[in-house]
Amino acid sequence: MLPLLPEQPNRARILVLGGGNENDARLTISAVATNTAQIFDYDANLSPSSQPGWSRRDIRMGRRRFMSDAVLLPDGKVLVTGGAERGFTNSNSGDVLRAEIFDPDSELFIPMADATVPRHYYSTALLLPDGTVITAGNTGGFPPYDYIEEKRLESFLPSYLWQGPRPSISPLYRSNMQYNTSFEFTVGVGTNHQLGVLTIESIQRVAIIRLSSVTHANNMDQRYIILRILERHPWEWNPAVGDIQVLAPGDGTIAPPGWYMLFVISEHGVPSRGQFIHLG
């Protein structure tokens, strides 16, 4: 599910990418994976017969892959890693090492760096609070059919880590967020050597990302909710620091209760480190 917008919290855009043999219903060891992606639009305010449905059917990744992992990043983009080019389940071959990032605004995939470790069946990819992604797991493939437990871990470092100063969130004095109420916290934006001291007006977005549960190329708990910014209060003695007040999601249909990571994102798309927060 792509990021939910505060002005349209009941509209969900679902990105479906990759998969088994696109030319035949049969899945065999030699079946070639697809590089296609599609977006399904759903609006809870509309009747079933009035749904937008498949809004895009012609998006393509740079690599064919199935059993890949997709991770929502703090800037709202989607990292796609791992997978195999041919086969089905654990009977697969053809490592896909090249990572790609999907931009929901342009609806394009951007090629990124190659991984060192192949990730096929039973692999996972997980967003960490520092904004990096850790990849783990793999049980081999065919040929030969060997069950090999992959114990190496690898980190993906998104390019936003080098796109400017990182904003920061001060330790939260209140770590519980309640539905449809205001929530205030303190942020700092740092200094840009070219632009000088920034102010909290440069914070472009506040978002919460649900903690993940990943298996079999499926992350059941991923959810990204952009919060409405109600007020900003720069500190008089330091305009690079201030308090931001946001509106929590309306109810559990938009954001299920539980633990999330709170991020602020600068106007250059650079996220803070995430702070754990409980929503309910």
pLDDT band at 145 (very low <50, low <70, confident <90, very high): low
Q: List the end-to-end C-alpha distance of the chain, in Å, as a whole number.
A: 21
For the domain 11-159, what is the CATH superfamily, name and number? Answer: Galactose oxidase/kelch, beta-propeller (2.130.10.80)
Answer whether residue 25 shows pLDDT above 80. Answer: no
CATH of 163-279, one of 2.60.120.10, 2.60.40.10, 1.20.120.450, 2.40.10.500: 2.60.40.10
DSSP symbols for 221-261: T--EEEEEEEEEEEETTEEEEEEEEEEPPSSTTTS-SEEEE
Task: Give residue for tokens 């088994």.
Answer: 20
Distances (CA, A) of 243 to 6, 41, 97, 158, 239: 20, 35, 42, 27, 10
Counting Cα atoms < 13 Å in the Cβ hemisphere of 10 gives 8
- pLDDT at residue number 97: 97
pTM of the model: 0.93
Q: Tell me: the pLDDT tens digits for 205-260?
A: 999 999 988 887 788 889 999 999 999 999 888 888 999 999 999 999 999 999 99
Report which secondary-structure segment, H or E, holds 209.
strand 203-210
Domain ranges of the chain: 11-159, 163-279
pLDDT band at 197 (very low <50, low <70, confident <90, very high): low
- Residue percentage of the chain with pLDDT more than 90: 71
Average pLDDT over residues 28-45: 92
Edge-to-edge, what's the strand order for the sheet holding 224-235?
168-169, 182-188, 238-247, 224-235, 203-210, 258-266, 275-279, 176-177
- In degrees, rounded to 5, the angle at the alpha carbon of residue 100 between the alpha carbons of residues 206 and 156 is 70
Question: Which tokens hold the place of 204?
Answer: 């472009």
In whole angstroms, what is the distance from residue 94 CA to residue 87 CA?
Answer: 9
In terms of Cβ atoms closer than 10 Å to its own Cβ (0-12, 13-18, 19+), residue 162 is exposed
AA letter at 261: M
- The reply to whether omega before 143 is within 30° of 0 (cis) is yes
- pLDDT at residue number 146: 62
Give residues with Cβ within 8 angstroms of 124, minimum separation 6.
69, 135, 136, 137, 214, 215
